[in-house]
Amino acid sequence: MTDVAPLARVRGSIRVPGDKSYSHRAVLLAALAEGRSSLRGLSAGADVAATLDAVARLGARVEPEGDRWWVSGPAGGLRASAAALECANSGTTMRLLCGVVAGVPGTHRLVGDASLSRRPMDRVAAPLERMGARVRGEGPSLHAPLVVEGGALSGVEYHVPVPSAQVKSAVLFAGLRASGSTTVVESVRTRTTTEDAMREAGLDVAVAPEGPGRRVTLNPGRPNPRAWAVPGDPSQAAFFAVLGAIHEDASLEVVSLDAAPERVGFVEVLARMGARVALHDHGTYHSLSALSSTLVATEVHSHEIPSVDEVPILTVAACAAEGITAFRSMAELRVKESDRFAGSLALARQLGAAAWAEGDDFFVEGLGAARRFAPFTLEAALDHRMVMAASVAGAAGRGCVIEGADTVASSYPHFFRDLALLA
């Protein structure tokens, strides 16, 4: 049990962990390259540690040195591991690895924790099977444990049926080893981390707009080894942005961030709510500042925040706002580390707000500036983002108790230390 005490005031500057999405891609591309790559600023979380562990099992050499990692891809390429690839809590590890091992001959077993073992993997199995791999899993949605039979693949054109960067990325990773080019068409613009990292590694990727979405075409190839430098994770900055905005006496900044448009939709949402939250461009990286604010309700569409990762923390902002905030088309929230659709509604109610669902939309009637959040208890259900969202609510309100809060280690092992630094 972790007690999160209310913070009397919030001041200071935070450096969040390296971007989790970019860290996974950098590790995988380094392992697929021939030769040694250095990686600085990697996410220190257990999710990326699982990816490092998996590529080591597949034959890459992985060595920590001070604040950086060295990853060397074997000259003959990755090979199947006799032991299972342990993906722990990390959906990105499991889905991207499926794409990687689809092109590695042999049988690959992928396992995860209780949360990951409930999440649908049919979304990656379908395109990979079309490319020539075989993917077996449990139940109709093919959840883990998974068995992937890798081998010769052919390029495909695949229209991703759900907005998911992980699915797009699994297909692109498989496409590296396929014969012929691979095209992925998405109707919602999801994060471009894979396309960007592949281009940085010297691969031939072309991206073109297609309606509201994009068409990504990749030619097969082997990435170059290189020096990877990972920026800070904007999804982690979102927790502090909301803390700053809803706390009655706050002034904080978060430094050294990536600010790709698909990642910082939450800043625009908060600005519409009247939050004094802003991104500042420092050339290579951005910083984010947040000051105590008076918030009003808004309407949030999942297209603005394609991975919906920031919706739980925006729900906390909605609880502090005056009026009814609408969250539209939020079905994907149900298949994250926990059912965040139900979890966000439950959290809002625990804080004392009224919250209700209509189909895939949900609504939160906030308490407004005059009232304070109620104290509450949360069962973390192996979901790092629900723990951090709840902690922000507790720190800005009247405290909370979290059972299983150590699950923050998936993405942000020092979250509670950083929160305390702001006191």
Q: Footprint of ligand S3P on this chain (CB under 6 A)? A: 21, 92, 164-166, 169, 191, 307, 309
- Least distance CB 398 / ligand S3P (angstroms): 30
Q: How many other C-beta atoms are found inside a 10 Å radius of the C-beta of residue 31?
A: 26
Q: Where in 267-353 does DSSP place strands (E)?
A: 276-281, 286-291, 299-301, 324-328
C-beta of 260 vs 324, nearer to ligand S3P: 260
C-alpha separations of 164 from 60, 92, 171, 297, 333 in Å: 27, 11, 11, 27, 12
C-beta of 118 vs 191, nearer to ligand S3P: 191
C-beta of 223 vs 366, nearer to ligand S3P: 223
- Least distance CB 163 / ligand S3P (angstroms): 6
Which structure tokens are listed for 412? 């942000």
- Least distance CB 407 / ligand S3P (angstroms): 14
Contact between residue 103 and residue 150 where contact means Cβ atoms under 8 Å apart: yes
Q: Where in 191-297 does DSSP place strands (E)?
A: 205-210, 213-218, 227-229, 250-257, 276-281, 286-291
Distance CA 178, CA 161 (A): 21
**Catalytic: which of 309, 361, 383, 418?**
309
Distance CA 179, CA 352 (A): 56
Per the rule left: phi > 0, alpha: psi between -120 and 50, beta: everything else, 283 is left
C-beta of 51 vs 293, nearer to ligand S3P: 51
Partners of residue 159 on adjacent β-strands: 185
C-beta of 120 vs 223, nearer to ligand S3P: 120
Backbone angles phi, psi at 290, to 5 degrees: -145, 135
- Least distance CB 275 / ligand S3P (angstroms): 23
Partners of residue 157 on adjacent β-strands: 183
Examine the residue annotation and report whether 309 is marked as an active-site residue of this protein: yes
Catalytic residue numbers read 309
